[in-house]
């Protein structure tokens, strides 16, 4: 019997590549994103090439109760979720006193609230069945504060710590939770966050979304708690623990400054 993976933010970037990977492994899919036309195009491509079923749900997960609406819709269709992948998220560049609260509230709703509610809803079903896997997409931003993207970095710190905690709680019940922590990636994130000209992205050869997706998939299937993509990212993420925090914050700011 085919297993089913629910992937949020599946219309592009890492989420789209994860959809292709799961389909190639014979998993049915539930794809969630705001852009329904892109989801339908991906559904058509996957179902032509793979013997799997694809359910698409057009939903803005930054809206209140969006996660419970998705859950209820799947319950009505008797679709069981074996792999929950919380990939949807976005960032916003700018100093905190200059950025838009509306956009930051949407970011918190999507990066934190929807992710947490999806876990709450589907974990209980997984516990009843005695198994399941979750992957929450965090970031190398999870490991330190980020001047210039203060709210984004804070939301990703939440994702990392939350994922590690519930992984510890749930592992004995047959469920693993993986926090995938990619660094800068060719995924459309930089354009959405207005960061193309920052030192973090400009003139850099970045890993592709496909590279990160494969790394994340393998880490989730192994039940790895924290998966940091790339050796340099791994070293940087761990080295900040041994440096003065004031130095770390200043370093992050200098990296993110636009040229």
Catalytic residue among 152, 153, 158, 215: 152
Strands of the sheet with 226-228, listed across from one edge? 54-58, 28-33, 4-8, 83-86, 132-137, 175-181, 226-228
Cα distance between residue 184 and residue 141, in whole Å: 10
Cβ atoms of residues 169 and 176 within 8 Å = no
Cα distance between residue 162 and residue 54, in whole Å: 29
Cα distance between residue 170 and residue 122, in whole Å: 12
158 catalytic, yes or no? no
Instruction: Give catalytic residue positions.
Output: 152
């Amino acid at each position: 019997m085919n297993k089913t993976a629910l992937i949020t933010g599946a219309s592009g970037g890492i989420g789209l590549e994860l959809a292709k990977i799961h389909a190639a492994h014979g998993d049915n899919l539930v794809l969630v994103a705001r852009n329904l036309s892109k989801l339908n195009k991906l559904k058509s491509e996957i179902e032509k090439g793979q013997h799997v079923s694809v359910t698409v749900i057009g939903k803005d997960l930054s809206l209140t109760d969006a996660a419970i609406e998705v859950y209820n819709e799947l319950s009505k269709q008797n679709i069981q979720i074996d792999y929950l992948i919380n990939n949807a998220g976005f960032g916003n560049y700018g100093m905190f006193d200059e950025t838009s609260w509306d956009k930051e509230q949407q970011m918190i709703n999507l990066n934190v609230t929807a992710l947490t509610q999806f876990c709450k809803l589907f974990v209980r079903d997984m516990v009843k069945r005695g198994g399941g896997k979750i992957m929450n997409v965090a970031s190398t931003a999870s490991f330190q504060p980020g001047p210039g993207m203060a709210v984004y970095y804070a939301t990703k710190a939440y994702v990392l710590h939350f994922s590690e905690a519930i992984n510890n709680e749930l592992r004995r019940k047959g469920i693993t939770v993986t926090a995938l922590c990619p660094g800068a990636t060719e995924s459309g994130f930089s354009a959405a966050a207005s960061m193309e000209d920052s030192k973090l992205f400009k003139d850099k050869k970045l890993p592709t979304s496909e590279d990160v997706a494969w790394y994340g998939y393998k880490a989730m299937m192994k039940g790895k708690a924290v998966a940091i993509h790339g050796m340099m990212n791994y070293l940087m993420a761990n080295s900040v623990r041994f440096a003065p925090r004031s130095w770390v914050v200043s370093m992050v700011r200098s990296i993110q400054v636009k040229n």
